[in-house]
Amino acid sequence: MPDQSIPEARTSAEVSQASPSSGLSRRALLGTAGATGLVLGAAGGAVGYAAAPTSATPLTSVGSDRAMFHGKHQPGITEGLQACGHLVAFDLVAGAGHKQAAALLRRWSTTAERLMAGEPAPHDDTDVARDAGPSALTITFGFGYSFFGRTGLEKQRPAALDPLPDFSSDHLDKARSDGDLWVQIGANDGLVAFHALRAIQKDAGSAARVRWQMNGFNRTPGATAHPMTARNLMGQLDGTRNPKPTDADFDQRIFVPSSGEPAWMANGSYAVVRRIRMLLDDWEKLSVPAQEAVIGRRKSNGAPLSGGDETTPMDLEKTDAKGDYVVPLNAHARITRPDKNGGAAMLRRPFSYHDGFDADGTPDAGLLFICWQADPLRGFVPVQRKLDRGDALSPFIRHEASGLFAVPGGAAKGEYVGQRLLEG
């Protein structure tokens, strides 16, 4: 888990703390959000990025926050971490090809636009999210390597989508890896997120079937006294060194340029998805100082072991009285530093997960690792190869599923996601 993070969601719509008897209708709530709320994911530039924490949002206004479906980039990439998430991969059914895929993406885009606005699904709505606002819902679509063969679009398959190399830490379940199509759903309300998941699955109809699905969570915005980097299930602040949209080279590292190849991927990105199980029983046997040595940062506040606070640059040359490095050579934070990996950087936007317990009581829990980059061969791959060679964290985690997906740029008004590929 590279030492990078995205701050919690920026939200600002302060709505009345009305009870059900106050007469504040859902329509009025959404109207208030549209007039005064911060619109996340707006098209173009850094204006729409939710990159820097502001003030914590009271839970009473979480429902009013809205992300926009149309824009330069798809939603669900630069927005802050959401409380609930679903990742789902689909395979096209036998006989379904280019035509059926285009119709499916058109349906999905129509549904996503409506649900992200807090409106019912366009047909057969289940009422699961009735009375709820948008709750920062985002729905993001991507294409797997196999999609192009099934649709006869092999010549349009990006070179960057070539399968990831094998890593020594992999224990991958093929049934829970890859897929023709990938959908990421995130929201700050569990019912809103499930409502979107169900609508997307129903829209697949006879064109595609679910290959695998995973559920995740993060801390709810407003649950802490002030915005802070998220913690993972090991209790560590996870992702301090995430690239920030204010960085001069942010777009260059995270998004395919408008002049990039293939042309249909302009302003898109590549998502690496890994289900990383945390061996919590083993991890929790370590003392706090031992855990900190594994990571290279203080558990309490994320500060590097070399001193300072969370944002203080790590001094990799600092030694203790015995002459030993205070940040161990195999510490996770040392190994994953971009300046130690040829500048490799990725935007991490993960969810934690817990899928119950094994028969012996071992928790099946960990991280749904999602990272975004303009090219996985320059982002994820070099860092993971370095981790494979001696990361102190490796004995406490296990990579159990993996996928790589090409996520095209955002759809303009009147377009559907992937239209430039499917109709270009």
Tokens in use for 409? 């740029």
Q: Count the alpha carbons within 13 Å of 63 in the hemisphere toward its beta carbon.
A: 23
Rounded to an integer, the average pLDDT of 105-128 is 97
Cross-strand pairs, 170: 399
Using 50, 70 and 90 to split pLDDT, how confident is the model at 137? very high
- Predicted local distance difference test score (pLDDT) of residue 56: 60
Q: How far apart are CA 388 and CA 381, in angstroms?
A: 10
User: Active-site residue among 178, 180, 189, 238?
Assistant: 238
Rounded to an integer, the average pLDDT of 49-57 is 48
More confident residue, 50 or 366: 366
Using 50, 70 and 90 to split pLDDT, how confident is the model at 18? very low
Amino acid identity of residue 269, one-letter, is: S
Rounded to an integer, the average pLDDT of 363-385 is 96
Percent of the chain with pLDDT over 70: 86
For residue 249, indicate whether it is catalytic. Answer: no
pLDDT per residue as tens digits for the range 285-313: 999 999 999 999 999 999 999 999 999 99
Tokens in use for 24? 């504040």
Question: Mean pLDDT in the chain?
Answer: 88
Q: Identify which of 86, 81, 44, 87 has the alpha carbon closest to the alpha carbon of residue 65.
A: 81
125 in Cβ contact with 206 (< 8 Å)? no
| pLDDT at 43 exceeding the cut of 60 | no
Give the three-class secondary structure for 198: helix
| pLDDT at 12 exceeding the cut of 50 | no
- Predicted local distance difference test score (pLDDT) of residue 58: 64
- Predicted local distance difference test score (pLDDT) of residue 344: 86
- Predicted local distance difference test score (pLDDT) of residue 338: 80
Residue 148 sits at φ, ψ, to 5 deg, of -70, -35
- Predicted local distance difference test score (pLDDT) of residue 42: 34
242 in Cβ contact with 81 (< 8 Å)? no
Lowest mean pLDDT among 77-86, 91-100, 125-134, 218-227: 218-227
In total, the chain counts a number of residues equal to 424
Amino acid identity of residue 186, one-letter, is: G
For 205, counting Cβ atoms within 10 Å of its Cβ (0-12 exposed, 13-18 middle, 19+ buried), the class is middle
| pLDDT at 340 exceeding the cut of 90 | no
Using 50, 70 and 90 to split pLDDT, how confident is the model at 1? low
- Predicted local distance difference test score (pLDDT) of residue 59: 65
pLDDT per residue as tens digits for the range 218-277: 999 889 898 899 999 999 999 888 999 999 999 999 999 999 899 999 999 999 999 999
Residue 100 sits at φ, ψ, to 5 deg, of -65, -35
Lowest mean pLDDT among 41-55, 233-247, 310-324: 41-55
- Predicted local distance difference test score (pLDDT) of residue 230: 92
147 in Cβ contact with 158 (< 8 Å)? no
| pLDDT at 153 exceeding the cut of 90 | yes
Q: How far apart are CA 267 and CA 355, in angstroms?
A: 35
Rounded to an integer, the average pLDDT of 72-95 is 97
| pLDDT at 353 exceeding the cut of 90 | yes
pLDDT per residue as tens digits for the range 179-217: 999 999 999 999 999 999 999 999 999 999 999 999 999
Q: Identify which of 80, 76, 74, 36 has the alpha carbon closest to the alpha carbon of residue 56.
A: 80
Using 50, 70 and 90 to split pLDDT, how confident is the model at 46? very low
Q: How far apart are CA 345 and CA 337, in angstroms?
A: 8
Q: Is the peptide bond before 262 cis (omega within 30 degrees of 0)?
A: yes
The DSSP element (H or E) to which 91 belongs, if any, is: strand 84-92
Distances (CA, A) of 131 to 84, 122, 383: 18, 17, 44
pLDDT per residue as tens digits for the range 396-424: 999 999 999 999 999 999 999 999 999 98
Tokens in use for 77? 């990439």
| pLDDT at 40 exceeding the cut of 80 | no
Q: How far apart are CA 293 and CA 393, in angstroms?
A: 10
Q: How far apart are CA 117 and CA 136, in angstroms?
A: 9
Rounded to two decimals, the pTM is 0.86
Q: How far apart are CA 90 and CA 271, in angstroms?
A: 16
